[in-house]
Chains A and B, each alone.
Chain A
Amino acid sequence: AQSVAQPEDQVNVAEGNPLTVKCTYSVSGNPYLFWYVQYPNRGLQFLLKYITGDNLVKGSYGFEAEFNKSQTSFHLKKPSALVSDSALYFCAVRWGSGGYQKVTFGTGTKLQVIP
């Protein structure tokens, strides 16, 4: 079955420290992977995506994600966390065959950056 897992409900990190939000996936074929962020009372915002090519993908607001095929992971990272990064983060995978594809979102990870 196609799925994406975010093993941590919440991640706490001190401001200025590096952060990692984990995501693993299970999909047949080559995965298309995404990260989105949701601030309180707002819709989701696209951060970055991996389709093919370089395993390190750079996105908005200084975030990057590393695609690891052998570990079926796509962890979100940032070298130095800001308090304003505190939000809910969703990993998503695109799956399907032929011309009809769908996106499945993970359950979300709440990132809390402590001043």
Chain B
Amino acid sequence: DSGVTQTPKHLITATGQRVTLRCSPRSGDLSVYWYQQSLDQGLQFLIQYYNGEERAKGNILERFSAQQFPDLHSELNLSSLELGDSALYFCASSEGPEPGEQYFGPGTRLTVT
């Protein structure tokens, strides 16, 4: 158990809808990272927050947004969903602002129908 929790485990929704994925980092970790894993794209870095502030941005679509709250949990919002957004979404955390070793949550499997 990495200490990183993600909810929900599974999510099935329709195209055009909006969903929110939630992540609680490991105790003491201030950085949260979001990744998308799909069969054709592999593991793609989306975005990083450190202590409430956006730290680094990867291949995140404009339809997606994230935030980190004062209690350090983070939410990833996905809107205007398309079939191609179906994937595993992972959250990871680490202690400091720079991406050292990261601790991954179990993931949320999103299916868009």
Contacts and interface: CB of A to CB of B under 8 A. Distances in A.
Interface of A: 32, 34, 36, 42-46, 49, 90, 94, 96, 99-108
A45 B42 contact: no
Instruction: For chain B, give the interface size range.
Output: 20 to 34
Interface of B: 2, 4, 33, 42-43, 45, 48, 55-56, 58, 90, 92, 97-107
Contacts of A44: 43, 90, 92, 102, 104
A43 B4 contact: yes
Contact of B104 (A32, A45, A104, A106): A45
Contacts of A42: 106-107
Contacts of A94: 98-100
Given A42-B106, A43-B106, A46-B103, A105 B42 contact: yes
Given A43-B104, A45-B2, A46-B102, A102 B97 contact: no
Contacts of A43: 2, 4, 90, 92, 104-107
B90 A101 contact: no
A34 B101 contact: yes
Contacts of B58: 102
A49 B42 contact: no
6 contacts: A34-B101, A42-B106, A46-B102, A99-B98, A103-B45, A108-B43
Nearest to A49: B101
B45 A105 contact: yes
A99 B97 contact: yes
A102 B107 contact: no
A4 to B, nearest CB: 11
A42 B106 CA distance: 5
A32 B102 CA distance: 13
B106 A103 contact: no
